[in-house]
Amino acid sequence: MKRIYANEDLCIGCRLCEIHCLVQHSKSKRIITAMMRERDTVSSRVKVQESGQVTFALQCRHCEDARCLEACMTGAISRDPDTGAVLHDADKCVGCWMCVMACPVGAIQRGAEGHVASKCDLCQGEEVPACVENCPNEALAFEERPK
């Protein structure tokens, strides 16, 4: 399946991916409105990690053996049978954080309002995820790679 891959040699740590992820998942989908008025209801699902000179952006890996899906007690996390993406249904989530306990890369967070989990959905419906589309240095790629 197509996944998002980070290249830490190219990442400059600008965090534009975080901003565009948040905007993409906001109600308004407008950068100023989302950043100024919606930050208590929506957060970025991609997080830039930074240590000295090394930076890279991390989001859900959509694992083949998805520990979050195994651990999800309500059935809120499922796999899209067509794309293989691991998706999260906020309506079915009760915030038990089993997925947070299980994700071995630490890519699932508690959502901005603190009651349901929040994770990358590969920007369902978009050709290219917002973080990849808006990365200024091609440090993120959306592609299929051989196993």
Partner 1 sequence: MNYLIVGNSAAAIAAVEAIRQADPRGRITLVAAEPEHTYSRPLVSYRLAGKVGDDLMSYRPADFYDRHRVETCLGEEVVAVDTDARTVTARSGRTFTYDRLLLATGGRPIVPDIDGLAGARGVFTLTSYDDARRIDAYLTEHGVKQAVVLGGGMIGLKTAEALLARGVKVTVVELADRLLSATFDREASEMLETALRKHGAAVCLGTTIERVLTSQGAVRGVRLTTGLEVYCKVIVAAIGVAPELGYLAASGIETGRGILVDDHLRTSAVGVYAAGDVAEAADMLLGGRRPIPILPLAYRQGMIAGRNMAGADQAYRGGIAMNSIEVCDLATISVGLTAVDEADGYEVLADRDAAAGAYRKVVLRDNRIVGVILIGDIDRAGLYTGLIERRTDVGRIKHLLLSSEFGLLSLDPEYRKHMVSGPGIEV
Q: Quick one: 16 or 96, whose CB is closer to partner 1?
A: 96
Please identify which residue in 23, 38, 44, 56 interacts with partner 1, judged by CB under 8 A. 56
Dist. CA 80–CA 114, nearest whole Å? 25
Please list every residue from 74 through 103 that binds partner 1, using CB under 8 A.
Answer: 74-75, 91-92, 94-103
Which of these segments, 20-28, 37-45, 53-61, 131-139, binds partner 1 (CB under 8 A)?
53-61
Asked if 123 and 116 count as a contact pair (C-beta separation under 8 A), the reply is: no
Please identify which residue in 10, 14, 16, 58 interacts with partner 1, judged by CB under 8 A. 58
Sole residue written with tokens 């299929």: 144
Helix (H, G, I), strand (E, B) or coil at 92: helix
- Give 56's strand partners: 49
